[in-house]
Structure 1
């Protein structure tokens, strides 16, 4: 927070230098593709930059000159329509308002008569105030006024000159500038900063190009609509609307106000102003609600609310230049938040893809005890997907979050029971689930799938301890049944020696020990050692569901930690469990076919 406060202070007090530099940087993003194209055609960089800048600045200044001249002509013609405007304003007042105005005038007249006829008292005698005498140097005041007038013209001219110089320098020395930024970042962050610079340049360039296209289309449609309505200088108002849309929110309101004033001045009825307002609303609602979110949000990576908030922030910090530059500056901030871990909160606050994952949203809805919305989250995720993906990606991670909060004392028994009950009901309802085929998938020739000859390949699923382990065991057993494997579900308390001795006579039976972290390894190891002592020849699989992989520990080392009860393998997802059982079944079937 202290660093952010220092940065904001620097941006505020150094705005006289940073505003032209930012304008130049934004302009260089627009002109850099044209310079690169000329360089690819073997045009020297100096000549390419000169040609591009000359064409760009001549176009900008020409449009600005023509638009300003026409605006001055319209402003000079408006006083001629003063009577027409007053007549329209007079028709707005209702008879009730006119009667009320007459009543106020009468009251004011009566009070004036009373005050003039009553003899003034001593307290009502006007006090004579002594006015201070100032000696004004007319020559100096005129010189100061002339200097102020010159500064009003020289300041924007100087700013434009600085922008031009910075733009040319950035286009000529863009590799040198990139190298300086990489040197500041350090050798260990070259990859990070290269990705950040490339992403920022791509996003800003795409945003500016799409904004140019949208504003041009908006101006053409607005000018064409004004021409059909009958507003004079429709081309001027269309061009002005396209230009002013560069300034967010304020520019759009200004582009409506100017032709609306002209229409009020020259028209004899209220129909043209109403049509202009309807045209503006139709174009603006279409652009802001459909076109711009589709183009800008995906290209810039900024949410609509963040665009509005950052526009207000930059406008308060830099004035109208900040309002114009708010989107490119916010793009840079979002890119920094994406690539710099210390600033990741900026990407979370301002980015478009800062949404809760399916398992987090499912868990959050169950925390709010909203069973209907939690089911809706699961159904939306499952649409067109296999059942095992829902279990591995949503339900089991949610159960892991429940176990973590429950063991830390952050979840009461009422909510945890609600969790287990809801997830158990969802799993029971999905027993007969069938994956939907895509509607647009072309019919294919059915392939012949080789199925195992022997079908007697049973699976015994043992849950380690609590209700969460029992639910994961239920999911595993359901998937095994759907894969045509006879399945038996047991709890750790019900695994007696007699049951294990009976399973020893069936060496093809696979034993799954289901455990959900945290605090699952020690219990799973104890059960695995007891099962292995009775079943030395059976395959044993330990399912440590949703367990993060340890890069410092190989699977063989993890198996060695089980001591005398080493399992054959360890899996961390139900998809791995299904694949492992299928592979063993196919191996056993192929051996059976040889005999």
Structure 2
């Protein structure tokens, strides 16, 4: 209940404190981007205050220049919109059949009729127009009108100045702010909190600075390419791409729509439109998959669902500025969640890293009885099949065995996991014929329980596939009972016995079973599979005949090197 109340208070503070929190958030992102530049200037002997002033002056100058260019481009585009609209309408009309009209032609005729009606209503008698103006704007003019105009002009300027002040304060008091956060985290945790803040700050600074540099280069390249293709106001679209690309997933599409419409309006054919479309697709694919991983290194990303949720929230509370800040703010929360345990749920919910390790995900598939997905890991491992089992499959079965031993899962669920693993194994490898262990020279004895039995069957199939030597696993029984049943069969003793467990038997029990196997099969080589390697079973002649291995890869090597007919 307390967490819900705190969350509600935070949301209310974000909504009603937007006049302060919005420029503060924007200033934090800008401070992260400028922090490396300030540190770089300080290394050349400049006082930190002078370095901050120089960095802020450069930022303000670049912003004013960009705003001037952006405004001139907007004015130029506004003046030529009518021409582009007529060209686009003519192009649309050329697509409709000359005889019989068509749906598109009827839509254009309806649009023209609607436009004529609007113009007729707009350019009515002068008296009606005056009456309409007086009724809808009874307070227009006077002191209130002037104040409203001044407020509309000074509002963005006020936010820009407040953001600039915040940036200067954050850069100047960077170390003091870090010290205060460390003090809040507790002096006894000073080493951990200092390391976390330092690493998180460096990663965020490099991420935002790298993203800004990439977006700027993308915008310059876009403006140059569009200008070369003859798209009007190419500088405007390059600036729009550089700005909107800060919005993941959808920003590049929003920035590409106006140039595509202009390409359709300017050129009588479709070649220009297809060329602009091809440029945006190719450039975005190269930038996202090649340039960004190389420039920014370790990627701090957001999952698509997380960004949609975060973008929707910030759009509702802060409007377009919130949508622009959604990715930086959420990325900051993800990075902080990686270093502070109390915020780790944020990294799990919003980050794009897999929520489960490969062995945990495989165990989850087994719990869900998804044999098809469980078999995919084996089918995809055309090379290094034992390595895949050692890294993913056997650790997942070991977790299942531990859960069964700790009574987290029932015997029925353990049997279901074993059946799922057996079904996945049989769908990838040929099914062993009944009595196949009598013909195999390597027999695998499961330790204890259904999961060890399923793991033994998997090991037999994998080792038969990789070594080329017939291997089989006893499935009718496990442990000492399996050894006894194998001894009762009137067949030649196997060349190798592999005692196999993923946690069903403890080390002492496995050692006893190994000694018992040495007594029952004195001429047979004994291999003891455990996830942890240990010392010999006991001193004496069995040390040279009993070999431990902790992975299928090692067992594969030992079976390959063993000569035929030798223990």
Asked if these proteins are the same fold (TM beyond 0.5), I'd say: yes
Give the conservation status (yes or no) of the 8 Å contact 2:18–2:318: yes
Provide the C-alpha distance between the structure 2 equivalents of 1:424 and 1:40, rounded to a whole number of angstroms.
64
Q: Write out aligned runs for 1:148-159 (5 A).
A: 148-159=148-159
Given the superposition, is the C-alpha separation of residues 574 and 384 from structure 1 closer, same or farther in structure 2, using an over 3 Å criterion? closer
Provide the C-alpha distance between the structure 1 equivalents of 2:346 and 2:513, rounded to a whole number of angstroms.
47
**How big is the shift at 1:221?**
3.9
**How big is the shift at 1:203?**
3.7
Normalised by the length of structure 1, the TM-score is 0.66
Partner of 1:411: 413
**How big is the shift at 1:279?**
4.2
Give the conservation status (yes or no) of the 8 Å contact 1:78–1:262: no
Of 274, 281, 284, the match for 1:285: 281
Q: Are 2:83 and 1:51 aligned?
A: no
Deviations 1:109-142 (A, max 9, x none): xxxxxxxxxxxxxxxxxxxxxxxx99x9969x62
Of 40, 43, 47, the match for 2:43: 40
Q: Are 2:15 and 1:12 aligned?
A: yes
Provide the C-alpha distance between the structure 2 equivalents of 1:18 and 1:308, rounded to a whole number of angstroms.
21
Deviations 1:203-258 (A, max 9, x none): 43344334334433433443334434434443444344434444564685366437
Q: Write out aligned runs for 1:231-242 (5 A).
A: 231-242=231-242
Q: Write out aligned runs for 1:552-571 (5 A).
A: none
Give the conservation status (yes or no) of the 8 Å contact 1:207–1:296: no
Q: Write out aligned runs for 1:421-570 (5 A).
A: 421-423=423-425, 462-473=445-456, 491=478, 492-496=480-484, 514-517=500-503, 545=531
Query: Matched residue pairs, number?
Result: 499
Give the conservation status (yes or no) of the 8 Å contact 2:386–2:553: yes
Partner of 1:271: 268
Ranges in structure 2 where 5+ consecutive residues have no aligned partner: 114-133, 433-440, 539-545, 563-567
Provide the C-alpha distance between the structure 2 equivalents of 1:476 and 1:419, rounded to a whole number of angstroms.
12
Partner of 2:130: none
Provide the C-alpha distance between the structure 2 equivalents of 1:144 and 1:300, rounded to a whole number of angstroms.
49
Provide the C-alpha distance between the structure 1 equivalents of 2:486 and 2:101, rounded to a whole number of angstroms.
101
Q: Write out aligned runs for 1:358-377 (5 A).
A: 358-365=358-365, 371=371, 373-377=373-377
Give the conservation status (yes or no) of the 8 Å contact 1:244–1:255: no
Provide the C-alpha distance between the structure 2 equivalents of 1:204 and 1:47, rounded to a whole number of angstroms.
24
Provide the C-alpha distance between the structure 1 equivalents of 2:357 and 2:187, rounded to a whole number of angstroms.
34
Give the conservation status (yes or no) of the 8 Å contact 2:303–2:352: yes
Provide the C-alpha distance between the structure 2 equivalents of 1:190 and 1:570, rounded to a whole number of angstroms.
45
Matched position secondary structure for 1:299: coil
Partner of 2:119: none
Matched position secondary structure for 1:354: coil
Matched position secondary structure for 2:395: helix
Matched position secondary structure for 2:413: coil
Deviations 1:275-319 (A, max 9, x none): 554344223323444422555575223234433443233222321
Q: Are 2:20 and 1:21 aligned?
A: no
Matched position secondary structure for 1:353: coil
Deviations 1:433-479 (A, max 9, x none): xxxxxxxxxxxxxxxxxxxxxxxxx9986533334334545667789
**How big is the shift at 1:150?**
1.3
Q: Which moved more, 1:411-420 or 1:520-529?
A: 520-529
Q: Which moved more, 1:486-495 or 1:295-304?
A: 486-495
Q: Write out aligned runs for 1:96-175 (5 A).
A: 142-175=142-175
Partner of 1:91: 93
Deviations 1:167-191 (A, max 9, x none): 1122222111121222222234444
Deviations 1:556-579 (A, max 9, x none): 9xx99xxxxxxx999765568899
Ranges in structure 1 where 5+ consecutive residues have no aligned partner: 106-132, 431-457, 501-505, 550-554, 561-567, 586-595
Partner of 1:119: none
Q: Write out aligned runs for 1:272-421 (5 A).
A: 274=270, 277-296=273-292, 298-354=298-354, 356-365=356-365, 371=371, 373-380=373-380, 382-385=381-384, 387-401=385-399, 403=401, 404=403, 407-409=409-411, 411=413, 416-421=418-423
Give the conservation status (yes or no) of the 8 Å contact 2:23–2:163: yes
Normalised by the length of structure 2, the TM-score is 0.69
Given the superposition, is the C-alpha separation of residues 429 and 352 from structure 1 closer, same or farther in structure 2, using an over 3 Å criterion? farther
Matched position secondary structure for 1:325: helix
**How big is the shift at 1:160?**
0.9
Deviations 1:318-338 (A, max 9, x none): 211111112211211211332
Partner of 2:254: 253
